[in-house]
Chains A and B, each alone.
Chain A
Amino acid sequence: MSQLAIILARVGQAIPTLLGIVVVTFLLTRALPGDPAAYFAGASATPESIAEIRAKLGLDRSLPRQFATYLKDLAAGDLGQSISTGQPVAAELLKRLPASLELTLTALLLSVAIAIPLGVLAAVYQDSWIDQLCRFVVTAGVSLPTFFTGLLLVYVFYFLLGIAPAPLGRLDILHVPPPQITGFLILDGLLARQWAVAWSAARQLALPSITLALFTLAPLARMTRAAMLQALASEYLRTARAAGLSRGRVLMVYAFRNALLPVITTLGMVFSFSLGANVLVEKVFAWPGIGSFALEALVVSDYAAVQGFVLSMAVLFVLLNLTVDIVYTLVDPRVKIDG
């Protein structure tokens, strides 16, 4: 198969998964305890007005018909109305998505930048102090509850040392947000040449992204170390050494590039974790992302908002896994995806 055909086949595989996600999110929210119609109608509602609203929302029809309507709305990009804000859910989510993405991507970059060198060094200098450090980081990282790490960092860097800003959102209240271009405040600040704003945004982002990075560090470092050890013990590496290649070339080209493949697959899983952990970190740092939005919605049983949140997170995750797989196909010429 040509590479293009492989990629197309992989994209095709994502379709049933997406369908499954849509079915599950639909079924989930139909079981919500609160009656949305009663909620809309307010406290002074009569049974008639509730029934009327129920009919208007389409809640009186059979499940399959409701599902068909849901699919139709979804195809038009309509996720319903948020009860708490009165705005379309899709617009609310889109408005908050940059904040969450900024946080998640910064954290992921940070953790890749630390985990991969750490894992490689731990494997190359096996049983040295750096290997012990790696082991410690890995064991501590999987045991630390994200929300707890976040609070510890706030205590140390905000309360004790006073070098971090208060954990209250994306930007100090003294600053006005820069004109929106990318939605990432740091980039927007830099693009608008408002250096103080960019700096403030970066300071606000530091602790939450470190918290999230600490959480994702462990699986990445562990996988890098294991994959690198496996590559180092391989026969092609022995051949490369025997052929008299330089140590740097053997390590970086022959071992590292091969070890990178399982690490790329782990990235997908790590992303799943960080999307979940995002919600916790956003709560700790009052970060105005989609996680915070979902939490507010949960409290008032705003079913369309919760449904939209779960759905968009899952779709985001599927798309990311798809990207990871496609990158994998491009990086590794041996890959053959089985049907």
Chain B
Amino acid sequence: MKKNLILMALLFLAILSCEKDDICIEDTTPNLVLRFYDNENQTDVKQITDLTVWVINYDSIYVNQSLDSISLPLDLNQNVTTYILANNLVNDTITCSYDRNDIFVSRSCGYKTTFDNMQIESYTTNWIKNININNTLIDNDTTAHITIFH
């Protein structure tokens, strides 16, 4: 009887020690995903051959890359972020505004910020022809939220 009890106690301890809620594995604050399309043929994805992206007053996120979609962090301390997208050294500026919501995820992840009411406040049209918002709610970064035609 005694031996069995000790064994049971050890077994319980072993099960409990397998808990992994100290490591954050859930999705946290999402990025803004932009996808580039051809303005002439609006269903076709059109790659940018030499793309450099940064947020005004910040470091660059992409440097001289050839891409058809980009994932950009949104400023989670403010309700507005201004990006500069340079296509073959031609700059265009996009200013996004949004609301922020902090959503509880888990013990180890804490809170994540999701963004709602996404709007394009302003953008320049040096190489960008048109911008379309697909989803005003940014709560994951699996699909494109904004489409850019060029």
Are A and B bound to each other?
A: no
Binding site for B on A (CB under 8 A): none
Binding site for A on B (CB under 8 A): none
